[in-house]
Amino acid sequence: MPTPPKTSSSKIIAAARDLIGEPGLDELTMQAVAHRVGVRGPSLYKHFADRAALLREVETAVVADLEAVMIQVPPSLDDLSALRAIAAAYRTFAREHPATYSLIFGLHSGDAAAEQARRRALQPALQRLESYLGNREAAFIRARVLTSFLHGFVSMETAGAFRLGGDIEQAFQAGLALLLCDTARK
């Protein structure tokens, strides 16, 4: 006679869902990196203690790159135009390097250098917001809201999550318009 069932598809699915942990970066293997730079895997360990150490440095470098594109905004622009330009630069960066971008908020390694890079990258936008809103605290809150929108939008966009048609560019501009409306000014 056949062995009695111990489980079921739905039980397996439920267990799988309980099990999901942090997503990794499977493709980034030491050997693949080594091949890219023309050496063998073990040679990398003369440069970095282990894979985690390499990842920490990558994280910091990526954030610095994002800062570099956001900082390109001409100082001559008015605040609102500058904020729009920063947002556009952010989105462009994410679209051009989607997997790389995902490290910025995806690794959360707690690395001090990466954390400092993140803080530094935020600074220009924060200053513009403060000038625009005329209120330091409001600018800080708005920065969080704007960053959330930008991160969510580009994450969905690069993941191909906008699948219902329509003008995606229009949605981006509409979101910016709502979040950059100057309602906090007294």
Partner DNA sequence: GTCTATAGCTAGATAGAC
Partner DNA sequence: GTCTATCTAGCTATAGAC
Give the footprint of DNA on this chain (CB under 7 A).
2-3, 5-7, 28-32, 34, 38-43, 45-47, 50-52
18 contributes a contact to a copy of itself by CB under 8 A:
yes
Q: How many residues does the chain have?
A: 186
41 binds, among a copy of itself, DNA, none (CB under 5 to 8 A by kind): DNA
Closest CA to 169 of 71, 72, 88: 88
User: How near is the Cβ of 43 to DNA at its closest, in Å?
Assistant: 4
Query: Is there binding between residue 52 and a copy of itself (CB under 8 A)?
Result: no
**Are 132 and 83 within 8 A, CB to CB?**
yes
- For residue 87, the minimal CB distance to a copy of itself (Å) is 12
Please give the residues from 91 up to 110 whose contact with a copy of itself meets the rule CB under 8 A: 97, 99-100, 102-103, 105-106, 108
Q: Is residue 156 a contact partner of residue 91, using CB atoms and an 8 Å limit? A: no
Whether the CB-CB separation of 139 and 147 falls below 8 Å is answered with no
Neighbours of 151 (CB within 10 A): 15
Q: Are 76 and 49 in contact (CB under 8 A)?
A: no
- Our finding on whether 169 is near a copy of itself (CB under 8 A) is no
* Partner in contact with 52, chosen from a copy of itself, DNA, none, beta carbon below 5 to 8 Å by kind: DNA
Q: Tell me the closest approach of the beta carbon of residue 20 to DNA, in angstroms.
A: 12
Distance CA 21, CA 41 (A): 27
Query: Closest CB to DNA among 6 and 17?
Result: 6
Number of C-alpha atoms within 13 angstroms, CB side, residue 67? 18
108 binds, among a copy of itself, DNA, none (CB under 5 to 8 A by kind): a copy of itself
- The kind and range of the H/E element at 48 are none
Tell me: does residue 185 bind a copy of itself (CB under 8 A): no
The identity of residue 13, as a single letter, is I
Residue 81 CB, nearest approach to a copy of itself (Å): 19
